[in-house]
Amino acid sequence: MRRGIAAGNWKMHGSRQFVADYVRALDGQVQSLECAVVLFPPVGYLPLLAESLRHLDLDRIVELGAQNLHTEVQGAFTGEMSGEMLADLGARWVLVGHSERREYAGETNDVVAAKTAAALRAGLKPMVCVGESEADRDAGRAEAVVIGQLESVLARCGGELGAIAYEPVWAIGTGRTATPALAEEMHALIRSALANHSAPAAELPILYGGSVKGGNAGALFAERDIDGGLVGGASLKAEEFMEIARALPG
Ligand code: PGA
């Protein structure tokens, strides 16, 4: 019912050469996957990545997304990109609410909800990231924080989103992955919160993110409510990213 998604968040990594090598490494592997594949390169490399995929006829298999967007369509917002511009460059997805943007760019739940609305306005599929910090978990408020983040988006935008990504902050880039059971517990909770908002809870993919690797992907994806992975570090190695994607059913 829900197709698996392997999503690669390159964060601020890459170069023209990296894009060329990466696409070459996907060729011959990505064609046999059952799951959907989405790549989130740094925005400046979107057109080159789109063109490189098209060149090898992989553009129908690999979808592209941006890591951020502005809420407005256009205007005097130096350094920003609108969802409409991202769509024009070939993006179909956009990350919103990634913990690094919440932390380094000060994005609050309200900003994340406004950006989700802007993504939908532009026809992009928002991949809405939620997740608690280590301090939240230690204080016993992990569930309240995650559901609070989710509900502020649902209250403003409804549930017709592209995907949710649960990414516990303490697991991002740390090598500390949530156990499959702990992740599943939060995914199931997220799914019931979606249902309470009459969102299409059964259809909306919920991805796990936080130190997903070739070696732990299979156990995570075996859980009932984990529909895929949002992969940072390990997505920079095309071979390992494909290994992760192969662990996902269609
Ligand atoms: P990581 O990052 O896989 O390097 O932990 C995940 C993410 O931030 O999306």
140-169 pLDDT per residue, tens: 999 999 999 999 999 999 989 999 999 999
At residue 177, the pLDDT reads 87
Counting beta carbons within 10 angstroms of the beta carbon of residue 56, is it exposed (0 to 12), middle (13 to 18) or buried (19 or more)?
middle
Where along the chain do its domains lie?
A: 5-246
Q: How far is the CA of 87 from the centre of ligand 1 (A)?
A: 24
Catalytic residue among 63, 107, 132, 167: 167
> Over pLDDT 90: what percentage of the chain?
91
Neighbouring C-beta atoms of residue 233, cutoff 10 Å: 18
* 167 belongs to the catalytic site: yes
Which residues are near ligand 1 (CB < 6 Å)? Answer: 9, 167, 172-173, 209-212, 230-234
Specify the residue with its C-alpha closest to ligand 1, atom 6: 232
Structure tokens at 231: 């992969």
Segments in the chain forming alpha helices (H): 16-26, 46-55, 83-88, 99-104, 109-121, 134-138, 142-157, 180-196, 214-221, 238-246
Counting atoms of ligand 1 from 1, which one is nearest the CA of 174?
5
- Dihedral pair phi/psi, residue 155, rounded to 5°: -65, -35
Span 194-203, mean pLDDT?
Answer: 84
Q: How far apart are CA 150 and CA 201, in angstroms?
A: 13
Ligand 1 pocket mutation pick from 129, 172, 212 by most atoms within 8 angstroms of CB:
172
Q: What is the pLDDT of residue 198?
A: 74
Catalytic residue among 63, 70, 98, 100: 98
Residue 242 has pLDDT above 90, yes or no: yes
Domain 5-246 bears CATH identifier 3.20.20.70: yes
Establish whether 55 is a catalytic residue: no
> Cα–Cα distance between 103 and 11 in angstroms, integer?
14
